[in-house]
Copies of this chain bind each other. A is one copy, B any other.
């Protein structure tokens, strides 16, 4: 769990150092943007947010940092089918529990839902265990997404 208090270095500095990465203003700003947003953002979204407080940032750095964060397991990368990836903290700072996504294939709206997630997680855990053994896979992550038409798009058709 993130400790956003002002005392001591942010919770993730240790993990960063441990992996041999340096702490830089850019990385700090990108992570903060993700923590504050606490929901899925595109690379461009993050670039825009960070750019207001740290104009020197480059889009390239955003992509590079996100790749690191994904590889470290701090950030999830999602594809909702609109041609750009979305990123979100694995553990949101405040409200966010683990959640899954409901994607409208028409307007691309995405709803985070936490309902039923406990049941889903339970089943996934069991499935993961079985799959790991059978296929000797080391599973680190999963995605569940439902696709369909949201209330608005249903009526407009």
Contact = CB atoms under 8 A, between A and B. Distances in A.
B151 A135 contact: yes
Contacts of A126: 116, 119
In the assembly, how many copies of this chain are there? 2
Interface residues of A, number: 38
A115 B134 contact: yes
Given A123-B123, A131-B116, A144-B142, A137 B102 contact: yes
A20 interface: no
A142 B138 contact: no
A148 interface: yes
A56 to B, nearest CB: 29
A120 interface: yes
Interchain residue pairs A-B with the least CB separation, the first 6: A139-B148, A136-B151, A141-B147, A79-B79, A138-B149, A116-B127
A73 B126 CA distance: 30
Interface of A: 77, 79, 81, 102, 104-105, 111, 113, 115-116, 119-120, 123, 126-128, 130-132, 134-151, 154
A136 B115 contact: no
Nearest to A144: B144
A124 to B, nearest CB: 8
A105 B111 CA distance: 26
A146 B131 contact: yes
Contacts of A134: 113, 115
